[in-house]
Amino acid sequence: MNPKLSFLFARRSVRAYQNREIPSEMVSDLLEAAMAAPSACAKDPWRFIVVRDRKRLASIAEGLPNGGMLAGAGIGIVVCGDLQAAHGGELSYLLQDCSAAIENTLIAATALGLGACWLGVHPREERILHLRSRLEIPDSVIPVGVVSLGWPVEGKDARTRFNPDHIHEENW
């Protein structure tokens, strides 16, 4: 692993958090990093719901099969996309833009010493409806994913999942 890229290799899915608050300044840093992501034609269709309340986090976790860690997270960031704001009103661009924002959030969390885990929501209709009902999300806004964040209970070693068999040169 190239040491210049260690901040990327250190990013790991973290599902166990200390009972410790995340300062508002760090949350602002995470959101600023998220919004530094590339966006098709700079439309920035992403919208964010920051959830700090433990009861609400637990309620959200109930509708996400792999989201149990949310109940113990310092915060959850629900990443949504406004279809009316997306390039050409296209769902595909909205999903790409929001996914880039999620990845920036994960990398920023690692750089700040936080643990994070990306929980997929879209395209699972039951998960979308669950979040809509819990968070009063309007119909034109699509929940794409949730990022669970907190101070990690334990560190994880950096790693790569590089596989040369997945690379093709010039053509398939």
Q: How many domains does the chain have?
A: 1
Residue among 60, 82, 83 nearest 135 (CA): 60
Q: Over range 35-60, report the average pLDDT.
A: 98
Average pLDDT, the chain: 97
- Please give the pLDDT value at position 1: 84
Which domain range does residue 119 map to? 12-153
Query: The CATH number of the domain where 50 resides is what?
Result: 3.40.109.10
- pTM, rounded to two decimals: 0.96
Q: Is residue 164 part of a domain?
A: no
Q: Is residue 46 part of a domain?
A: yes
Q: Is residue 130 part of a domain?
A: yes
Residue among 86, 103, 107, 104 nearest 95 (CA): 86
pLDDT digits (tens, 9 = 90+) for 113-158: 999 999 999 999 999 999 999 999 999 999 999 999 999 999 899 9
- Sign of torsion, CA 57 61 62 64? positive
C-alpha distances out from residue 113 to 9, 40, 106, Å:
14, 30, 11
